[in-house]
Structure 1
Amino acid sequence: MLDMLDEAPAWAGAVVALIGLVLAAFGAWSWRLCQQLRGARLVPVAGPHAGQGPRAVALQGRSESPPEGDLAAPLTGRACHWFSFRVEALRKQAGQDQERWVEIERGTSLRPILLRDATGLASIDPAGATMTGTETESWTSDGPPPAAGMGEALATIASVAIQGRLETRRYTEEVIPAGAPLFVLGSLTPAPAGPSAVRAPESGYFAISTLSPEATARRHLLAAAGQGAGAAVLVGAGVFMTMRRRAAGP
């Protein structure tokens, strides 16, 4: 193992340490979000703040179907109020013998999510939100996903025609199912008529979760702990590699 470190390029230690510092920044972000979630005070959608301007709030309720109906998740066709998906293909890159997963498509719904509590209705713009507690499905298949349209079917046929075989693909889909419990930390603009608007605040964090406030905070606390531990290992390894390289000389 030490021989391998000695053979590494001179800049390798700095790169490893830099990756550790980036991971530490993510850990600090997760920690601050955890603390903000723990300190958040739940308010009703329609309360004393009605008539005021935008303000940072924490809301809790349940997602409600809009008049135009639920969304259909693009891979499974499941009824939902928000989705995100990613499609990867197992392919050989130019000049390489081994196959690697290559992302070929991704997408996220931008339609507002409706949250109803005992006092009223809020319309949440999900753009820029950190999502927690979404229901995730991931699978690998040589064929199109269950809800594939004509375009996906044609792509499958083209894969067979070009490669002489079906292309292996990995599908990942996240959803907020219809009627899910919701906890939201964001900026609320009350409306005298119709749903109040919730969006990303100008400063601070924007979070949407199907978990309770306590469970959401725990998720981010665990993420911060894992990211902090990983950062410490990487920074330490990078410093060790750099010092050993210097001691070994040119």
Structure 2
Amino acid sequence: MTYCLGMLLKDGLVMMADTRTNAGVDNISSYKKLHIIEQSEECTIIACTAGNLSVTQSAFALLKEGLEEDEDSDGRRFVRDMPNMHRAASLVGEALHLASDEIKDAAGENSQYSFSGSMLLGGRFKGRPLRLFHIYKEGNFISCQPDRPFMQIGETKYGKPMLDRALEYETPLDDAVKTGLVSFDSTMRSNLSVGRPLDLAIFPTNESKAVRFLRIEETDEYFDLLSSKWALALVEARASIPMPPFMENDR
């Protein structure tokens, strides 16, 4: 299982992904799910992936080679050559759809496996605003908007309540990162198939500031502190709420 989160805010863009691919009593493995598609002076574009690894890997391979033009052209289309993030999302969606179809055809109709994947695609072209998209397995996509400044893929349900209550478009970037990490901690507490290391990418809205890439390892002291503080805060918050009045006779 996977959990990936993207947050598009007034102050910037934050993308996070866990790295766990298998979880069991004696079978835990990791694989990077936050990938740099393009990074140059003209654009920085990254993707977080969920779903079948063979599909997402094949999609990245197609993007690296360039997608074919129509029958009357010998050229190829690359993400770096797109005029904006919307067109880049369209190309990535096409690659994801092609990869899924190719692998399904190779596996045959009787295969019991699910050959699908999804992505969060984020970044910007020079001089243009930051954008964030959720690309579905069929290749279509939607964009993140200020009235709902986050998108999730994978194991989303445990980390969503925190984001619904605490995250707004105006949330400062450092506070958003903290909120996102609490969302991951809540998910990891309820589902062992999501786990550290976590990969982060932080894009400030100000283009003069560099994009930051970080990894939170299994032994990260800040994350351990955040996890314990959040657990304590929940206990204290619950204790501070008055007891249900209809239960008074049972005490």
Q: Normalized against structure 1, the TM-score is what?
A: 0.23
Structure with the greater alpha carbon radius of gyration: 1
